[in-house]
Amino acid sequence: MNETPLISVVIPAHNEEKYIASCLESVKRAAARLNEGSDCVETVVVANRCTDRTAEIARSFGAEVVENDARCIAQVRNAGVRASRGGIVVTVDADSAMSELALCEVREMLESGRYIGGGTPTRFDRMSVGIFFSAVYVAWNLIPVMLRNKAALSGGMFWFYRRDFEAAGGFDESLVSLEDMDFAARLNKLGVSMGKKYGTLKKSYIVTSARKFDMFGDWYLIRNRKLTKRIFTGRDREAADAFYYDVR
């Protein structure tokens, strides 16, 4: 597939009727800030095993909807990227909203030639002492990944050229969790081989839902450290199901 000036925003979504409109509104605002306007942005929503109005709402915003039944978020992310057409790809979760200049900054950083791609600072839509220390705990557990890759790998919302996504091998579909940091590590490794850096947006950010904390409690990750460590293996289906796939 040939690259085009188009920017593709890929959004995996499993029963996200509560959040998807806010996410799509944020994409619309960010697209309007580009010089070419929204005509240079396409939105692809991957409706993953949805039984609610997620797909209907996405179509009402003009998004392309891809139906997907995989029980693996890496497969869902890959399906969305492969269904998109843009030379630049941004992938953000359906319960997150990007800030207004996010797409402008993504294109600016990629077109500078200094960055292979990267991630985005994340803010929760609410904060508490428990959420703060949980975030610190998660970051601490990711330090070994960062040290192995000699980079401060950010996540949240990923951005990259399509050609580099394909060269890095996309998201690893053998993983049931931590597929995002695994992809970041491989994208960084590709960048190093090309003399480029793995970057983090400096002015833009995403606001993401604290719904997991709403469901489980703000101290859940710290109180259940054994489960958290199992999730961090990336391959523990039972742990991933307990926290991600069987939540609703």
Which structural domains are found in the chain, ordered by start?
7-245 (3.90.550.10)
| Token pair of 127 as six digits | 């904060």
CA 127 – CA 223 distance, rounded (Å) = 18
Give the contacts of 108 (CB within 8 A, at least 6 positions apart).
none
Q: How many CA atoms does the CB half-sphere of 125 hold within 13 Å?
A: 16
CB 204 within 8 A of CB 120: yes
Side-by-side strand order, sheet with 122-124:
96-98, 206-208, 122-124
Interaxial angle between packed helices 20-32 and 102-111, expressed in degrees from 0 to 180 and rounded to the nearest 10: 60
pLDDT, position 141: 85
pLDDT, position 241: 81
- Phi first, then psi, for residue 192 (nearest 5°) are -60, -40
Q: Closest Cα to residue 233, out of 191, 179, 156?
A: 179
pLDDT, position 192: 95
CA 199 – CA 109 distance, rounded (Å) = 8
Residue 82 burial by CB count (10 A; 0-12/13-18/19+): exposed, middle or buried?
Answer: middle
CA 144 – CA 45 distance, rounded (Å) = 33
pLDDT, position 137: 92
pLDDT, position 172: 96
Query: Tens digit of pLDDT for each residue in 150-177?
Result: 777 889 999 999 999 999 999 999 998 8
pLDDT, position 156: 92
pLDDT, position 246: 66
Q: What is the C-alpha end-to-end distance of the chain, expressed in Å?
A: 37
Residue that the structure tokens 């709403």 belong to: 214
Low-confidence ranges of the chain (pLDDT < 70): 1-4, 246-248
| Token pair of 81 as six digits | 């990227």
